[in-house]
Structure 1
Amino acid sequence: MAHVHANTPFAPLGIAVLTVSDTRGFDEDGSGDLLSERVTEAGHALVERRIVPDDIYRIRAVVSKWVVRDDIQVVLVTGGTGFTPRDRTPEALSPLFDKAIDGYGELFRQLSLASIGTSTIQSRAVGGLIDRTLVFAMPGSPKACATAWDGILVEQLDARTRPCNFVAMVLPQAERCASRQAPRPAAEGEAPRQAVES
């Protein structure tokens, strides 16, 4: 059963890209370049792009400023998701999540298994919802960013993706997935309706 109608229009989102790195500037930021290009190619707006060091509080400060802005619905974070002592992106973001998107990290590692084998278990890609802003963190290589965007995010950030996608959760005017709609009150003489479980 499709929860998104076949005639649902594309809804452009405002997306910010944050690169976490102690060593890169914009001239060396291939991952930020790739994500920025993918965002605009898909029809979304690249609202802002920044680079911060691998520091929990600097990462958290930038993301916290972005998630309260009305023009940003999605934050993409690249870098800092490994196991070295300086990889602290999940620790920076996870306490901010109202809801973790566990399936994002699970699916990312499943997709990357084909290209990097069991080394995928060393990826700590995480995603979550902060109020009405989606945040997705991925490893710092362009290849990993392509895996995350092409294999997961391009569809889940497209209002036309069926049966469901994340757009209605961040754009109030977007049509909500039927499985997440509250049941309407029953008319007089009508049996109460039940919400559809996802």
Structure 2
Amino acid sequence: MCFPCQMSRTLHLVKHGQPHILSGVPAHEWQLAEGALGGLPGLISRLRPRPEVVVSSEEPKAVSTAQALATELGVPHRRMLGLHEQLRYTVPLYPEPADFQAALDRFFDHPAQVMFGEESADDARRRFANAVGAVMSRQTGDSVAIVAHGTVISLLVAHAGDLDPKPLWRHLNLLDVLTLEWPALQLREPLS
């Protein structure tokens, strides 16, 4: 909710770069793939206004993306608990992308139930929203970037804008950004 006494700020929700996918290693432990940050200049050009701080989840792929982004911008990088991806410790590596997509569709279609991994969509969204709120309370600058993960970013933005999270999740590429007004969580630009 936007409160009249609060000035609007900018929140950039950035999806991490391409991970190096390893079978038998949980996704939350994946590192970035070689060349994963080649698109960083293009991402930076979309961050308007430029963030004064970059905050990330503690997952290695998000930390590495955030560190590189913060270095290029010349701003501090901080880590924050609660910004991690939806809990998927027991989710196997799907050999076919269509199988992974079908599992995620069930997850999005039944947000109150644990359908995929160990956390429901509603629980993941609430946890991520609380962490984002904590970041924005602590970081008082006009523009903040949070490097996180596609599913939780999509859940938060879809819920705030009364959107379907599935197309939003499909739209959000690796090393991509959704820029919002804070605290209203309103997208600055419509999705193309």
Relative contact order higher in (CA < 8 Å, ≥ 6 apart): 2
Query: TM-score, normalised to structure 2's length?
Result: 0.35
